[in-house]
Structures are given as structure tokens and as C-alpha cells.
Amino acid sequence: MRVEIEINNSPLAVARYVTWAWTPCRIRVTDPAGITGNQATIRLDQTALGGGGSIRFANAAAGTGAATHSLSVPRDGTSAAFFIRGITASTADPGVQITGRQTGAAAPVGTVSLMVRIRKDATTLSNGERDRLIATLAQFNNQGLGRFADFAGTHVSAGSVEAHGRPGFLPWHRAFVLDLERELQAIDPSVAMPYWRFDRPAPSLFTPQFLGRGTLNGPGTTTVTLSATNPLRFWKAGPAPGITRDPNFNVAGAAPGPLSQATALTLGNPGALFRNFRRIESPIFPAQRDYHGSAHVSFSGPIDSIPTAAQDPLFFFLHCNVDRLWAVWQKQQGRFDVTVAAAFESVTPPNRVGHNLGDTMWPWNGVTIPPRPNFALGGTLALSPCVSAPGPKPKVSDCFDYQGVVQLSNNMGFSYDDVPL
């Protein structure tokens, strides 16, 4: 007999990526020879491949799951459902092989390989993960003529009101980072957007082999030093080539401006309210510090200003970390469900358009009629072969339940290494 195992309920190889979230899978008999009766009992095991990682199996998208799984599979080719989720992350593709065997038999009747693809702290990436990421970024940028130009051209002054200063700040940037990540995954599905944990030292990020080395307390005019083999040396996201960035702090330590994670997480108090938590965006007085804005101005160069920030690939590492902090807070406080008032900031009269739960978000909605900006670059949000959320024209409300905690179909297809399901 033979079986076919599908990850994310898809026969496609590009769908064989999982996160910490429960992933729907199915198995069906493709060759019934040797099956006695109407069904076969199949045991599913896992083996770590070169990329490593591990998963758990379950009958339903709940509980802790188990390292192996047995289920009955109809002889007639009808699929049987099961679920898996990642437990430890892979470093390369493929990371884990699932093998199906008929109970009591040693010979496999079907296999499938997958990767537990997780967003990680950039300082923990292996050299291989780092090199694949920057090669993909460079290819996507494609001498300034690629789709990256749409990203750099979206995060500008004219579009700022869609993304900043209001409740949509966190959902909008979650979609923005995800859009870029999916574009990168269309080039190399093994990459995930890493984050710059700016309240901790991250010296390995600012090296010639990664995002480049600037001049300590330089004026923001240094074209960062990149190794001869680093493809980012051909980076061009503004009129001039090169990445310009000088640190305003010694990168051997943490950036001094941003709040620590522990302090930033308390900003939701009292009441664990989103309305309070979103104060991570910009300095809070009289304390002078915040989590997001202070990270931007930790460097001099394009990253320190709204009109140019997204020209620097560091922008996406920074915002991935801001998004991770939101994810940590959501997990701590149980704020994934938008029907829970404290999970968002719904007010009467409504917030500016684009900042209410039911509003679609620019630029993915393509709306260029006032009060929206008169341009919308890049089209709809990139789709994923693994998950269907948040859809091509996401609403604010589509960007909360990113691991499908409230509803499995809300899964946006990413997880953070330090934020469990």
C-alpha cells in the first residue's frame, strides 16, 4: 500500500512549512494493495533531517500533542485529518520528515518532509540562515528595481497617517512585515523574517557579513562596510546605492533609548488594555523613553526618519521585534480575540479610517480616494501557499489572532521563537 501525506492540506511542496500553530494535515491511501478491510491503521513518526526541528501530532487542534500519532485511513482514498505543530525550530529546509507505516510493519508507506519555519532573534541565526536571508533580500531588492521599492515607497510621509500614531499602528506594521516576509519566501521559502532585539546587545547583526558596520556616533553619512561577498553591497532603495547607517550607541551593548522588554510590557497597565500598550510607539513623558521610536533613532541615517526608514533593511528587523513584543503582550494578557474590548481600542466616534477593526488597510486595499493617500504601491498583500489569513486586502481585525488561537483559519503563518502558542 501507499499513502500520501499533505501538510497544510495541500499537495504542494511550497506548503510544507509549519509554525507553532496547529496546522491542518491529511493522509489518504493512494495504493490500497495489501489492505484488508475498509481501512488501514497508520502510525506517523518523525525524523529530524539536516535542518532539524521537531513537531507534535494530534487528532484535533488542541492540547499538547504527541511525538507520534496513529490514525485510521479509509481504503477508498478518502482523506483522514490530523494536525501537527512545531515544537523546535528548523535551521534549514527540510527539517523534519514524517514517515507513515502500517501498524506492525517496518516498511514506510509514505513520507513527507517539512520545515518548522520560525521568526528568530537575528543574533541566533546560523551562518547559513543569515546568508540565505541576505541573498533573498538582495534578490528581492534587485538593484532598486524590484518590489522592495514598493515597500520603501509606502512607508513615507504621505502614507504615514495610515500606519502611525493611532490604534492601527501595530496591525498595520504586522501586515507590512508579513507582506515582505512572504515576498522573500516566494524567492526562498526557507527564510523567515528575523527580529532585532534592540533592548539587548546584537553585535553580530551589525557586521560586514550581515547588515553592515557603520561609524560609532558618525553623522549618519557612512555607507556601511559590507564584506566583498555580501550581496547587500548592491543595495539600492533610495536614489543612491548603499546602506547608510551610523550607530548612536556602541553596538556591543544594547541601544540605550528603547525601554527594556519587561518595562515596555507593563505599559498596557492598568487593565492590560491595548489602548495603553500601544504607547510603545513613541516617547512617553515625562519618562522620555518608548520602545519603537527610540529604536529608530538609535542610528543616524535613513532608519531615523519616516520618509526613508524602510529604505534600510534594518527597518524590517526592527519592526519584526516591535511586532514580537505585541505578540508577547497578547500571549501574556490573552489579547488575541478582537471581540474582547481590551484587545483593541474601539472608540465612538470611530478612529480615523484605517484604524478601526472593520477598516481595510492601505495600501493593500488599493484605495486612493481621500482621506487615503493618492497612491498605493505594490498591490494586494502577498498570499501564502500555507495559510489563507489575513487575505489580500486585510482589515485591521485580521491581524490579531496570528497563530489561530481563537480560530484556526486566522493563522497568519508565522511564529516567534520565544512566544509559544
Site residues (vs another protein, CB under 8 A): 135, 138-139, 142-145, 157, 160-161, 164-166, 215-221, 223, 227-231, 233-236, 238-242, 244, 248-250, 256-257, 281-283, 285-286, 288-290, 292-294, 296-297, 300-302, 304-308
What stretches of 239-292 show up as alpha helix (H) in DSSP? 261-265, 274-277
Parallel/antiparallel/unpaired status of strands 23-31 and 2-7: antiparallel
In the bound state with another protein, the residue whose beta carbon lies nearer, of 65 and 214, is 214
Q: How far is the CB of 103 from another protein (least distance, A)?
A: 41
Q: How far is the CB of 289 from another protein (least distance, A)?
A: 8
Q: 195 forms bridges with which residues in the sheet? A: 121
Cα–Cα distance measured from residue 247 to residue 225, given in angstroms and rounded to the nearest whole number = 13
In the bound state with another protein, the residue whose beta carbon lies nearer, of 37 and 219, is 219
In the bound state with another protein, the residue whose beta carbon lies nearer, of 298 and 384, is 298
Q: How far is the CB of 181 from another protein (least distance, A)?
A: 20
Q: How far is the CB of 130 from another protein (least distance, A)?
A: 13
In the bound state with another protein, the residue whose beta carbon lies nearer, of 38 and 217, is 217
Q: 300 forms bridges with which residues in the sheet? A: 246
Residue reference for cell 484605517: 354
State whether residue 293 is helix, strand or coil. helix
Residue 84, φ and ψ in degrees, nearest 5? -135, 160
Cα–Cα distance measured from residue 44 to residue 101, given in angstroms and rounded to the nearest whole number = 7
How many CA atoms within 13 Å lie on the side-chain side of 264? Answer: 31
Cell of 112: 513527507
Parallel/antiparallel/unpaired status of strands 246-247 and 299-300: antiparallel
Q: How far is the CB of 51 from another protein (least distance, A)?
A: 16
In the bound state with another protein, the residue whose beta carbon lies nearer, of 106 and 145, is 145
Cα–Cα distance measured from residue 82 to residue 23, given in angstroms and rounded to the nearest whole number = 9
In the bound state with another protein, the residue whose beta carbon lies nearer, of 62 and 240, is 240
Q: How far is the CB of 183 from another protein (least distance, A)?
A: 16
Q: How far is the CB of 47 from another protein (least distance, A)?
A: 25
In the bound state with another protein, the residue whose beta carbon lies nearer, of 281 and 401, is 281
Cα–Cα distance measured from residue 401 to residue 409, given in angstroms and rounded to the nearest whole number = 9
Q: How far is the CB of 295 from another protein (least distance, A)?
A: 9
Cα–Cα distance measured from residue 392 to residue 388, given in angstroms and rounded to the nearest whole number = 9
In the bound state with another protein, the residue whose beta carbon lies nearer, of 78 and 221, is 221
Distance of alpha carbon 339 from the chain centroid: 23
Cα–Cα distance measured from residue 2 to residue 40, given in angstroms and rounded to the nearest whole number = 11
Q: Are 95 and 53 within 8 A, CB to CB?
A: yes
